[in-house]
Amino acid sequence: MQILAGRSIAVRLAVSSLFWSGVVLLVAGLILSTLYLRATERSFDERLLVYANDLAADLVTPTDSGTRDAGSLGDPRFEIPLSGWYWQLGRVDAATRDLRSSRSLLGNPLPTLAPPVADRPFGGIRKESVVGPEDRLLRLIERDIDLGEDGRFVVRVAGPADEISSAVRRFVLALILTFLLLGVGLGVSTLLQIRFGLRPLSDLRGAVSAVRRGEADRISGNYPGDVAPLAEELNLLLEANREILERARTQVGNLAHALKTPLSVIVNEADGPTVELSVRVREQAMLMRVQIEHYLQRARTAALAGTLGSVTDAAPVIEALARTFGKIFQDRDLAIEVSVASGARFRGERQDFEEMVGNLVDNACKWAVSRVRIRVDLGEDGDRNILRVVIEDDGPGLPEGARAVALKRGRRLDETKPGSGLGLSIVVELAGHYGGSLRLGSSRLGGAQAELALPGLGPA
């Protein structure tokens, strides 16, 4: 069914089950109503045949005077005019005026089911629905009786066919109500079965989501035999992913060390007597080092940013960075204030978090006069949690027009301060790999403010 393409398994199962249940109930209803109609007609015909047999018995049995008489059925409905219950008897070839009939007929003849000819089938019982007096539909039984020398007679008994249709309508209505209740019961039980049957898949989805959010490092739980192999394969895939990323990290580190050593030699050799050559070699070597650091960092981040199950507690990293930079800038007696929301976690690698926050704290400490404040909060952006790291200083601040320039790679706004101009651009690039962002603004302390938004998690 094209209409179900792309729908969930639960919807597909529910729709298909309800559709076929409806078809089965409809077919069963048609079959039962047809069988009930036939059974009702048969029962009605048997009642009429009983009346016909009573009339025939009276006709066959002579009276005390030696005559043959019939017409006492003991049912008052045959006495009520045009009640729909009629009987009629007479010879096969008798004229209408010679026929005997019930009072309910008021002299009207009943239709005949066989032609009144000598060679007509005789001795059988015929039954049919016919139109009687006042155009009312009747169910008619006709029976022939051979009295030998006294001749041949035919007995007809009719009853209102609407009693059959009324009984069938009542049955169909009761059947519809019963099947509706049955259909609702089947629908509810089907939905419950689908929910119960697909629960392992829902649990598996939750386990995979927990790994993706970093709340677990593997899929755990008890699953039925047809789902357990899938969970095991996913765990193996996670392990293989971690091994590949670890090997990539190792190779990146090896490449960095392999290139740094020759560059160090070139830089050292550049410290020669030829000033112009030394300057050019040093410039190019430093440029090579900057480019290598940049692209090695980019490759490492691209590989690690998608690592499943990587989670970093924010508080230990922030506190360690505060202690480190407090020692580095201890000669300036900087006060580094730290405020971290309880249980705040970063969904990513620890070293990436350290590098992003470390670059921002380093910049703040370089420009601060006496105070640097680091604040970590948890927030929400739509359906995901956001870890916000706000770093402020009481330095000269950053003009609004210079903020976009400061984020560009290699751009330095003040050459008197040490650095390569890559710190903020690296933060922007690393944050981008995680779907985060960096925004610069003004601090209430009087200086600059850097707000880093990253994917986060609450307390475990």
Amino acid identity of residue 449, one-letter, is Q
d(CA 169, CA 103): 30
Please return the burial class of 172, using the count of CB atoms within 10 Å of its CB with bins 0-12, 13-18 and 19+: middle
Q: Report the DSSP pairing between strands 335-340 and 371-381.
A: parallel
d(CA 14, CA 18): 6
**C-alpha closest to that of 320 among 282, 353, 296:** 353
Predicted confidence pLDDT, tens digits, the chain (460 residues): 555 555 677 777 878 888 888 899 999 999 999 999 999 999 998 999 888 888 878 776 655 444 444 556 678 888 889 888 998 887 776 666 667 888 888 888 888 887 765 555 566 788 888 998 888 899 999 888 877 677 778 888 999 998 898 999 999 999 999 999 988 888 888 888 888 877 888 888 788 877 776 667 778 778 887 778 887 888 888 887 777 777 666 666 666 666 666 666 666 666 656 666 666 666 666 766 666 666 666 555 555 554 555 788 889 999 999 898 888 888 888 888 899 988 888 888 888 888 889 989 988 898 888 889 999 998 887 777 889 999 999 888 887 766 666 666 544 444 444 444 456 777 888 888 788 888 888 888 888 888 999 988 877 6
Torsion sign across C-alpha atoms 328, 329, 333, 334: negative
Q: What is the 3-state secondary structure (H, E, C) of the chain?
A: CHHHCCCCHHHHHHHHHHHHHHHHHHHHHHHHHHHHHHHHHHHHHHHHHHHHHHHHHHHHCECCCCCECCCCCCCHHHCCCCCCCEEEEEECCCCHHHCEECHHHCCCCCCCCCCCCCCCCCCCEEEEEEECHHHCEEEEEEEEEECHHHCEEEEEEEEECHHHHHHHHHHHHHHHHHHHHHHHHHHHHHHHHHHHHHHHHHHHHHHHHHHHHCCCCCCCCCCCCCCHHHHHHHHHHHHHHHHHHHHHHHHHHHHHHHHHHHHHHHHHHHCCCCHHHHHHHHHHHHHHHHHHHHHHHHHHHHHHCCCCCCCEEHHHHHHHHHHHHHHHCHHHCCEEEEEECCCCEECCCHHHHHHHHHHHHHHHHHHCCCEEEEEEEEEEECCEEEEEEEEEECCCCCCHHHHHHHCCCCCCCCCCCCCCCCHHHHHHHHHHHCCCEEEEEECCCCCEEEEEEEEEECCC
d(CA 408, CA 432): 14
Q: Residue 391 pairs with which residues in a beta bridge?
A: 374, 450
Torsion of Cα atoms, 421 then 425 then 430 then 431, to 10°: 130
Residue-level pLDDT at 379: 85
d(CA 301, CA 320): 22
Torsion of Cα atoms, 430 then 312 then 452 then 405, to 10°: -30
Torsion sign across C-alpha atoms 319, 325, 326, 327: positive
Half-sphere exposure of 327 (CA within 13 A, CB side): 5
d(CA 47, CA 49): 5
Distance set, CA 153 to CA 83, 149, 158, 372 (Å) = 25, 12, 17, 124
Q: Residue 138 pairs with which residues in a beta bridge?
A: 130, 160
8 Å CB contact between 223 and 200 = yes
* Superfamily of chain region 312-457: Histidine kinase-like ATPase, C-terminal domain (3.30.565.10)
Half-sphere exposure of 25 (CA within 13 A, CB side): 20
Per-domain residue ranges for the chain? 62-161, 229-304, 312-457
d(CA 163, CA 44): 9
Q: Report the DSSP pairing between strands 152-160 and 86-91.
A: antiparallel
Residue-level pLDDT at 99: 75
d(CA 376, CA 345): 10
8 Å CB contact between 392 and 448 = yes
Residue-level pLDDT at 428: 84
Residue-level pLDDT at 374: 92
Residue-level pLDDT at 254: 64
Please return the burial class of 153, using the count of CB atoms within 10 Å of its CB with bins 0-12, 13-18 and 19+: buried
Residue-level pLDDT at 297: 62
